[in-house]
């Protein structure tokens, strides 16, 4: 029986090529309540949030939808949306 390959890193230096955003069930969406405090940037385990124009910006190509950012935001500025 052939076992399908899944979530495997098959070569070194391939993290940019493997767009892991497709793993998401829920997508974190930054709302107008964001004040750009940067808390979510510090907690995102994937390092895919940056602050641009005083607002959090998420790179959805690599965000895995863990929603840690939503849970740590002191301003409740991130909402979850079903993919």
Q: Which residues bind ligand SF4 (CB under 6 A)?
A: 28, 30, 34-40, 44, 46, 48-49, 56, 58, 63-69, 73, 75, 77-78
Which residue's structure tokens are 């959090």?
56
Q: Could you tell me the smallest distance in angstroms from the CB atom of residue 5 to ligand SF4?
A: 23
Q: Among residues 2 and 57, whose Cβ is nearest to ligand SF4? A: 57
Q: Among residues 9 and 37, whose Cβ is nearest to ligand SF4? A: 37
Phi, psi (5° rounding) for residue 60? -70, -10
Q: Among residues 18 and 66, whose Cβ is nearest to ligand SF4? A: 66
Q: Is 8 helix (H, G, I), strand (E, B) or coil?
A: coil
Q: Could you tell me the smallest distance in angstroms from the CB atom of residue 8 to ligand SF4?
A: 19
């Amino acid at each position: 029986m052939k076992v399908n390959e899944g979530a495997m890193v098959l070569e070194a230096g391939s993290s940019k090529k493997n767009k892991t955003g497709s793993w998401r069930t829920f997508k974190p969406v930054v709302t107008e309540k964001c004040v750009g405090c940067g808390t979510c940037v510090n907690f995102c385990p994937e390092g895919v949030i940056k602050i641009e124009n005083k607002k959090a910006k998420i790179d959805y190509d690599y965000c895995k939808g863990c929603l840690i950012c939503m849970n740590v935001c002191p301003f409740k500025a991130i909402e979850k949306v079903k993919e």
